Chain A
Amino acid sequence: MLENAYLIPIYPLLAFVIIIFATRWKEKLSSAISIAAILVAVIHSIFVMIAVIGRHGVPFELSVPFIEHPLISLETGIFIDPLTAVMLLVVTIVSGCVQIYSLGYMHGDPRWSRYFSYLSLFTFSMLGLVVANNFFMIFIFWELVGLTSYLLIGFWFEKDSASDAGKKAFITTRIGDLGFIIGILLLATYAGTLNYQEVFTKVADGAVPVGVLTMIGIFIFCGAVGKSAQFPLHVWLPDAMEGPTPVSALIHAATMVAAGVYLVARSMTLFVGSAEAAMTVAVIGLITSFMAASIALVQNDIKRVLAYSTVSQLGYMIMALGLYGFDVAKDPHSHSVGYFAGTFHLMTHAFFKALLFLGAGSVIHAVHTNDIQEMGGLSKKMKITSLTFFIASLSIAGIFPLSGFWSKDEIVAATLGHPVFMFFTLLIAFITAFYMFRLCFLTFTGKPRNQERFDHAHESPKTMTMPLMFLAFLSVFAGWVGMPWLSHGFSSFVYTGELQHHGPNYIVMLVSTIVAVSGIGLAYTVYFKKKISADVLMEKFKPLYTLLLNKYYFDEIYDKVIIKPLLAFTRMMWWSDANIIDGLVNFVGWFTIKWADAKMLFDKYIIDGAVNGAGTVCMAASWLFKYVQNGSVQFYTLVVITSAVGVIIYKVTPEGFVYYFIGVVVVALARFLMKMNRPEEGNVETEPEG
């Protein structure tokens, strides 16, 4: 199964091709094909996982040369190690759940088949990104997921906000991608190869100077910053919530945005080689995580809260990975758990965040609004949705023994030895628990704040609740593979190389549980018991509240600092185009027209009006060739003999050839003029056939 793991991305690709080209008009069939393909991919991924476990961390690689060049050889192939196997499972499972869920959510959408074909294309790209064995391939798939993300954010492109959000996402991530490709090119220059294993061996051997390595690390991290919505390129992700909610769950919560984390994890060797780059990663991760969590506190759009939560959790993972790189760079024998924590949280987060989004989608489906201030009390109407949503919230808050508990715990453990990081990590954990339960209580408990919407609410169909329950199951149990008591658990699994087992750290567990429970408790008193009025709090911290509500004014700052000046510059260019360049062009045009007029007169005069209005050189040339191509074999042979003689003369005396050429032209012209003067003869064999 491992040998043909390259098929895993191929299944959804086939589904895409079939839907686009053949079954587009048969909606039911299209979605069936798409789901069948992803289910096959899930099964295949499970087999791959089993095979990988059996290999005890020895990676599997398969590649075929793509282009070979003296400077660099590009190849296409697959690289499967434990990390890849985990990602394959996560992507296929979440994609499968989302596609089944979409059957209910997208019911009646006029672009149904297109939606499923896009989902298949996305899944193909994401799986390709995961199995790629070199930086060249990962970049190609990186761009492909960007494209499908654009297509799906703007899926309802009739809405201006949706198409704008699509463009914003595309352009913002593109800024990060520019850095990414610079990093790749630097890597190609210094390492001479783009294959993961070759690159990492070379880097580990010290073939790349540390200064350059820092640059490469930071540039490659730029790609991750764009794709994983890290500060300062995080602005696109909340807007991307304009897309259909299942899409948000799949792309903008579980998989594509995790690609940046995956990239950092995959390139860990680069960061281990440069403590500066690793620290940059960790700091960016921390800033993002804190900033996004604080914004999530005050948002009222259910999907936006989750979007900021996603940004925050991604920042968590990035920070853990960065700290690991830093610790190991400082001390190769360090026992940092950051790498394990980041990748582990990547997996658990994918499940419970997908569940949260799908739950939110279920709510939106029922009440037709995103505003949590208009909800309330929905748990009475939507039992399954509210129950699963609470499970996911408990999981993200890090309550024992749900899967989020184990991974968040490891992230906190990763900050051991960095007091500042530890403080903020715990603070973020507190904020996370608070805003998640603010969301839960406002949505599902209390009295309905909008009776009309409440009356229309209903539990979603089976196709939507089944995936919710399945994901809830995973949100509870998926984390158990990483329990610190297991000596061969997730932590040993993702480390290629020696067996790693850290054992439990009960103090960390206790502290993080206390933090989480107190966060939930505060939310409970404010939003459930209403002991403390939220409005009073809001008034008290008015400036902070406004700052958070406006998301630290990032969009406004970007508008003032980048977009406005850019537009001004563009307008200036336009002005110069309109006045200077166009003036030149107009002059050239005017001159050309005058010249053409003159030429036309000349033509008329010489050819006696035969070639009426022959304007362009091309037409004239073609006309001439048509004339030569007159269908007469005798004439053809004449041309050949003339040319042959010309070639021989050229060989003997090049000067003589000039005279010969002039002579031929004169004779041809004469013959031409004679023909033109008596067209009425209507000689059939000389009729141009061209």
Chain B
Amino acid sequence: MDIKSAAIFFDILYPEIFLLAVGMFILVVGNIFKNRTFLAYLALVGLIGALVLTLQQWNAPQSGFYGMVQIDNFSIFFNVIFLSAGIIATLMARDYLRAHNIERFEFYPLILFATVGMMIMASSADLIVIFLGLEIMSIPLYVMAGFFRNDPNSNESSVKYFIMGAFATAFLLYGIALIYGAAGTTDLRRIMTDLGYLVSHSGFFLYSGALLVLIGFGFKVAAVPFHMWVPDVYQGAPTPVTAYFSVAPKAAGFAAILRIFIYGLGGLNELSVIFWILAILTMSVGNLMAIFQTNIKRMLAYSSIAHAGYIMVALSVGGDGAVSAAAFYLLAYTFFNLGGFAIVTLINSRTGSTAAIDEMKGMSVRHPFLAALLALFMFALAGFPPTAGFFGKFYLFSEAVKAGYIWLTVIAVMNSFVSVYYYLRIVVVAYFGKADEEFAPVSFKPAIWLVLVITAAGTLILGLLPQFGLQLAQMCMFSFK
């Protein structure tokens, strides 16, 4: 395998460059034209174009920028997740923003820029570049959270996200500094090669640095106890933005964590205990809290925390199998979680809606198709066959069992049981809840239909023919050599 590294090679960043270019173009054009309806389509063109460019890099690992950028199947797999999430969020957002009279064209470049940041995070083998990617991703997200400029809740969401994000960044940077101090480099490849030597000579700093980096990313993936911002931010932000938050930055955080902790610092075995504790805390707190929520956005916020907990099981296990299981789970999660959020977006687009769970009452009578889809996504979130949620969990947990993490698996499965309660409650409300007044109809737009079709198809295809997705996930390996 011929790996180019000792040079710049702009061509390996074509997808990112293309996205950036389209984003900036929209910014410029948006200020020129009065009629801005086409800008959303332009953003979609950018995302789909980047998706095509990314897919062309499949199975051809290469590196550039003096080894700082690393394109391999792992990064491409995650880039596809980010871009799909971006496409779906854009489709959802346009009509939602219109319905709430806050459609401003800056929204679309923000999504594009955030996606660029995530893609850089996933395709880098250097701590500093990962950090850069994280910041490129985070700053547009802060703005997106506050997109309801006149709504105090949205402002609160934005400010909280910003403060907590900045706080986390401090941890992350300090951690990187400590690792640099211990290793003399931020290049993960060199850290990986010299790990044995480094541990014996400056183990404490390396460990402390690793832990601080972990805390920094713990924020982004909403691991307990670094999850506190999540419910407030998710509830306040516009619903499509929440949907995007619950998937894309989380996947980006996991991409970085997987690369750093399973490969770069994969030799630090003692970290496994920390992941073990974090995984159990994350899923248990997420599930317990979700039970008592009355607002569906808040419930899904806690549910997303719980799902982060399941994925952390893979971190605790480590190894190639765990990486593909986590990647597969994230791909599946992207579809069914965004699908669930798409329905919440529809419900929430009605005037006067606060996204309370009770608003689902009577849905099956007025919109039987929508109710059926809701049930599908909830079943997938709860991990029922034949949906993607079942196979995602199945592969994740079977990797854990294979590696001998029996207790971790038992706790994870028990958590899944707990989660069934609150997911099914939504279905029960939608099907059997007696509405005081008639269920106000939601207005379907073609875009939201497209979203529902894509997400439902993804949920079912990955569930009925898991082999296809799993084969891709198994090919999704790092190439460091």
Contacts and interface: CB of A to CB of B under 8 A. Distances in A.
Interface of A: 21, 64-68, 618, 621-622, 625-626, 628-629, 631, 633, 635-637, 639-640, 643-644, 647-648, 650-652, 689-690
Contacts of A625: 285, 288-289
A690 B219 CA distance: 19
A637 B465 contact: no
A622 B215 contact: no
B197 interface: no
Contacts of B163: 633, 637
B225 A622 contact: no
Nearest to B391: A67
B211 A640 contact: no
A652 B205 CA distance: 11
A622 B167 contact: no
Contact of B372 (A21, A64, A68, A690): A21
A65 B160 CA distance: 48
Nearest to B225: A643
A637 B208 contact: no
Nearest to B281: A643
B49 to A, nearest CB: 31
Nearest to B230: A629
Nearest to B215: A644
B73 to A, nearest CB: 19
Contact of B465 (A21, A64, A633, A647): A64
A644 B228 contact: no
Q: Which of B274, B369, B467 has the most CB of A within 10 A?
A: B467
A516 B211 CA distance: 90
Nearest to B224: A643
Contacts of A647: 211, 215, 274
A643 B369 CA distance: 45
B480 interface: no
Interface of B (DSSP majority class): helix
Contacts of A633: 159-160, 163-164, 229
20 contacts: A64-B467, A66-B465, A67-B466, A618-B291, A621-B288, A622-B289, A622-B292, A626-B292, A628-B228, A629-B228, A629-B289, A636-B160, A636-B229, A637-B163, A640-B168, A640-B219, A643-B225, A648-B211, A651-B208, A652-B204
B211 A21 contact: no
Given A64-B465, A629-B231, A636-B228, A644 B171 contact: yes
Interface of B: 159-160, 163-164, 167-168, 171, 204, 207-208, 211-212, 215, 219, 225-226, 228-229, 231-232, 270, 274, 285, 288-289, 291-293, 368-369, 372, 465-467
A636 B467 contact: no
B467 A622 contact: no
A689 B212 contact: no
A636 B164 contact: yes
A640 B291 contact: no
Contacts of A643: 215, 225-226
Contacts of B229: 633, 636
When A and B form their complex, which 8 residue pairs have the shortest distance between CB atoms, in order from nearest?
A636-B228, A643-B225, A65-B467, A622-B292, A633-B163, A647-B211, A644-B215, A625-B289
B27 to A, nearest CB: 31
Contacts of B226: 640, 643
B62 to A, nearest CB: 30
Contact of A651 (B160, B168, B211, B219): B211
A68 B208 contact: no
Contacts of A66: 465, 467
B397 to A, nearest CB: 15
Nearest to B372: A21
B18 to A, nearest CB: 34
A21 B369 CA distance: 7
Given A64-B465, A640-B215, A21 B160 contact: no
Contacts of B215: 640, 643-644, 647
Nearest to A635: B228
A652 B270 CA distance: 12
A637 B231 contact: no
B164 A637 contact: yes
B430 to A, nearest CB: 15
A651 B207 contact: yes
Given A64-B465, A633-B163, A644 B212 contact: yes
Contacts of A640: 164, 167-168, 171, 215, 219, 225-226, 228
Contacts of B219: 640
Nearest to B212: A644
Contacts of A64: 465, 467
B331 to A, nearest CB: 17
Contacts of B228: 628-629, 635-636, 639-640
B452 to A, nearest CB: 14
Nearest to A652: B204
Nearest to A617: B288
A629 B204 CA distance: 33
A67 B228 CA distance: 39
Contacts of B208: 648, 651
Contacts of A636: 160, 164, 228-229
Contacts of B368: 21
A549 B231 CA distance: 73
A287 B229 CA distance: 74
Contacts of B204: 651-652
A689 B232 contact: yes
B127 to A, nearest CB: 18
Contacts of B231: 629, 689
Contacts of B168: 640
Given A625-B285, A636-B164, A690-B289, 12 more contacts: A21-B369, A64-B467, A622-B291, A629-B289, A633-B160, A633-B164, A637-B163, A640-B171, A643-B215, A644-B215, A650-B274, A689-B231
Contacts of A67: 466-467
Contacts of A631: 232
A622 B421 CA distance: 15
A67 B471 CA distance: 11
Contacts of B270: 651
A637 B289 contact: no
Contacts of B293: 690
A661 to B, nearest CB: 12
A77 to B, nearest CB: 12
A240 B481 CA distance: 68
Contacts of A629: 228, 231, 289
A650 to B, nearest CB: 8
A626 B228 CA distance: 11
Contacts of A621: 288
A625 B285 CA distance: 8
Contacts of A648: 208, 211
Contacts of A689: 231-232
Contacts of A628: 228
Contacts of B465: 64, 66
Contacts of B167: 637, 640
Nearest to A640: B226
Contact of A618 (B207, B274, B288, B467): B288
A621 B418 CA distance: 14
A378 B288 CA distance: 72
Residue from the set A618, A639, A647 with the largest chain B CB neighbour count within 10 Å? A647
A639 B171 CA distance: 14
A643 to B, nearest CB: 5
Contacts of B212: 644
Contacts of A68: 467
A635 B285 CA distance: 18
Nearest to A628: B228
A622 to B, nearest CB: 5
A643 B466 CA distance: 38
A66 B461 CA distance: 11
Nearest to A76: B465
A85 B466 CA distance: 30
Most chain B beta-carbon contacts within 10 A, residue among A621, A633, A639, A648:
A633
A635 B167 CA distance: 13
